[in-house]
Chains A and B, each alone.
Chain A
Amino acid sequence: MAESIIEFDRVVAGYSPSVTILNELTLDARKGEITLLIGPNGAGKSTVLKTLFGMLIPRSGEVRFEGKRINGKTQRQLLAEGIAFVPQGRNLFGSLSVRHNLELGGITLPRGELNGRIEEVLTQFPRIKERINNQASTMSGGEQKQLEVGRALLLRPRVLLIDEPSIGLSPKLVQDVMSLLRRLADNGTTVVMVEQNVRTALKYSNRALVLEMGRLALDRPASELLDDPNLNRLFLGGHAPAKENMGRGASADV
C-alpha cells in the first residue's frame, strides 16, 4: 500500500463559528493515487479541498502534508510546497489568452523557467497548444478544463486537488478529463478529487472515501465500491453498511 501524503487528523472546520462542516474528520490520501471524495450534498467534500488548500483554517485538529503540519499556511505557501487546486466551475480568466492564463499559473516562477514549464505542459496538452494564442473564453468546456489542469501543473505539484471536474462537460469530455487525471496519477502525482459523477470517477480512482455530515463514513478501494449495490444510497445519503469497512478514525455512530 502506498504511503499517506495527505492526512486529516480530527479536523474541525466550517465557514463560520456557528456552522461546522468538517466534524472531527480523519482521513488520508496516498501517494500516486486518485482518492475520490464522495457523499451527499453538504457532507463536506469541497470543504476538505478548501481546508487542504488553505482557504479555510481548521478550528481544531491537524492537516498534514508529507507528515508536516500545514494548518494556517497560505495558498501561495502551499503552492510552493507542491499542492495545487483546481476549484469547481470555470476558473480561467476569460479575457486573457490561453498563454497568459498559463503564465498566471507560474507567476511565482522566474521568467526563463516559466517559458520552459509552459512548453512542458503544452506537450501534455496538444489541443491547448493549438489554441495557445486564442482568448480563453472562446475554448470549449473540455479545453477549458484541460487548460485549468495544465495551469495547475505548471508548478509541478505533487498533489493536485480538483473539485467537480466534470461539471458542464459532455460524457466524452468527462472521459478525457478523467483519463488525464489517471495519467497524472500514474506518473506520480497524487490526485484528490471531488466528483458528483461517481460511477465514472470510480472507474479511474484508486480509492473512494465516502463522507457524511463532515465525517468519514466509508473508506474502500474504488473498484469494490463500483460493484457495491448500495452505491447510490451511499452517495445520495445514508449510513455505511458495515463497520469493518469504515476508514481509520471514522466515528462509530456514522
Chain B
Amino acid sequence: MSKTQRIALVIGLVLYAVLPQFLKSYGVYLMTLLCVYLMAAFGLNLIVGYAGQMSIGQAAFYGIGAYVAAILMTKMGISFWFALPIAAIACFVVGLALGFPALRVQHHYLAFATLGFNVLVFLVMRNEEDLTGGTFGISNIPRPSIFGYSLDGALPFFYFAFVSVILLAAVLWWLLRSPWGRAFAALRDNPIRAESTGVNITAYTLLAFAIGAACAGIGGVYLAALVNFIEPGQFSLSVSLLMLLAVIVGGSGRFFGPVLGSIVVVLLPEWLRFLQDWYLAIFGFAVIVLMVYLPGGLLSLGDRFKSGGGTR
C-alpha cells in the first residue's frame, strides 16, 4: 500500500467514524448495516476474488451465523460474547463441508452447488419452526454490553460494529499477505501449477470456503444484534447475489473492493430513493453500466487511468 493510499484510508476511516454523529437513527443504522454487510463481503472476496472459487451461497452462512447466535442468546440465555465464536466456528465447519464440491467441480457448476446450498439453508430456516421460528423468525435478540457499557444505542452499536469490521479486515489483511495468501492467489491463477510448487490445493480450497464462511457467520451475528430480529427472507438467494455483486462491482480480488461494492449495494439504493418507484430500476441500470465499462470493478478505475486503456 502506497503512502497516498494509506493517507486516503485513514481519512476515509476518520470520516466514516465522524459522519454518524450528524445523522439520524436510520442513517446510523445504514452505516452500521454497511459494516455488518462488509464482514460477509470480505469473506466472499476471499473465496471468489483471492482463491478463485465461485459461491452464490454466502447469505446462507450469514443466516447460519445469525440463527446460531439468535437461538443461543434468546433460547439458551448465552451471552453474545460466547455466541459470536460459536456461530463463527459453526460457519467455519459448514463452510469446510461446502468446500468439498469445489474440489470436484468449478465455475458455473460450483455456482449451482452453492446456490443449492443457499436454498437448502433457507428452507431449513423457514420450515424448522420449532428451532428457527419459521417465517415469524426470532425476535428480541439482545445487543451486547462491553465492560458493563451497554451497546443498545444506535451510535454505540455503530462504533462497536465499525471497530469489529476493522479488526476483521486487519486479520484478513495479515492472512492475505502471509504465505497463505500467496497460496490462495496461486490457487486462483492456476491450481495445477500451484500443486506442482507444493501448494496443498485441497486444504487451501477448503480453507478459503471455511474462512469466508466464518466471516459471513460473524456478520450474521452482528446483523442479528443490530436488527434485534431475524427471519429467513434476510438470508435468501437474492442476498447472496447482492453480496456477490458487492464483491464484483467493487473489484474482485482487490482487498478494498468489497468496501466500495458494499457501498453501492447497501447505500446506493437508499441514495436513489428520491426517484421513488424508479429507484431500483435506476440502481439496476447503474450496475449494468458499471459492469460494461468497469468489468474489473470500481477499483480498476485507477488502473484504467494509469494505463489509459479501454474496456477489457
Q: Which residues of A contact B (CB under 8 A)?
A: 53, 55, 75-76, 79, 85, 87, 91, 93-96, 100, 103-108, 111, 114, 151, 155
| Residue pair A76, B179 in contact (C-beta under 8 Å) | no
Cβ of B185 < 8 Å from any Cβ of A?
yes
* A146 CB, min distance to chain B CBs, angstroms: 16
Q: Are B196 and A107 in contact (CB under 8 A)?
A: no
Which residue in chain B gives the minimum CB-CB distance to A76?
B198
- Judge whether A107 and B179 touch: CB under 8 Å: yes
B196 touching A94 by the CB < 8 A rule? no
Q: Contact at A155–B179, with CB atoms within 8 Å?
A: no
CA distance A64 to B195 in the complex (A): 21
Q: A96-B182, A100-B182 are in contact. Are A107 and B189 (CB under 8 A)?
A: no
On chain B, which size bracket covers the interface? 10 to 19
CB-based contact B193/A87 at 8 Å = yes
CB neighbours (8 Å) of A106 from chain B are 198
Asked if B193 contacts A103 (CB within 8 A), the reply is: no
Contact with A along B162-199 (1 / 0, CB 8 A): 00000000000000000100110110011001111111
B199's partner among A85, A104, A111 (CB-CB below 8 A) is A104
Q: A96-B185, A104-B186 are in contact. Are A91 and B196 (CB under 8 A)?
A: yes
Q: Given B182, B193, B196, B198, which contacts A108 in the complex, CB threshold below 8 Å? A: B198
Closest A residue by C-beta to B177: A100
What is the count of residue pairs linking A and B with beta-carbon distances less than 8 angstroms?
53
Contacts of A108 in B (CB 8 A): 198
Q: Which residue of the partner chain B has the closest CB to A99?
A: B182
Partner of B195, one of A75, A103, A155: A75
- 4 further A-B contacts with Cβ under 8 Å, apart from A76-B200, A100-B185, A104-B179, are A76-B198, A93-B190, A104-B198, A105-B197
Encode B213-229 as 1/0 by CB contact (under 8 A) with A. Answer: 00000000000000000
Please, could you name 17 A-B residue pairs with CB atoms under 8 Å apart, sorted by A?
A55-B196, A75-B196, A75-B198, A76-B198, A76-B200, A79-B198, A87-B196, A91-B193, A93-B182, A93-B185, A94-B189, A95-B185, A105-B197, A107-B179, A107-B182, A107-B183, A151-B197
Q: Which secondary structure dominates chain B's binding surface?
A: helix
Minimum C-beta distance from B253 to chain A (A): 8
Complex interface: chain B residues within 8 A of A105 (CB): 197-198
Those of B126-162 within 8 Å (CB) of chain A: none
CA distance A150 to B208 in the complex (A): 28
Distance, CA A55 to CA B193, complexed state (A): 11
State the CA gap A75–B199 with chains docked (Å). 9
Are A53 and B194 within 8 A (Cβ)? no
Report B-chain residues with C-beta under 8 Å of the C-beta of A76.
Answer: 195, 198, 200
Distance in angstroms between the alpha carbons of A57 and B54 in the assembled complex:
29
Residues of chain B within 8 A of A95, CB atoms compared = 185, 189
B190 near A155: Cβ-Cβ < 8 Å: no
| Docked pose: A91 CA to B189 CA in angstroms | 10
Give every chain A residue within 8 A of B182 (Cβ-Cβ). 93, 96, 100, 103-104, 107
On chain B, the residues within 8 Å of A55 by CB distance are 196
Asked if A155 contacts B198 (CB within 8 A), the reply is yes
Tell which of A79, A95, A104 has the most Cβ of chain B within 10 Å: A104
Check if B196 sits within 8 Å of A53, measured CB to CB: yes
B200 proximity list for chain A (CB < 8 A): 76
B residues near A107, Cβ cutoff 8 Å: 179, 182-183, 197-199
Closest to A106 in B: B198
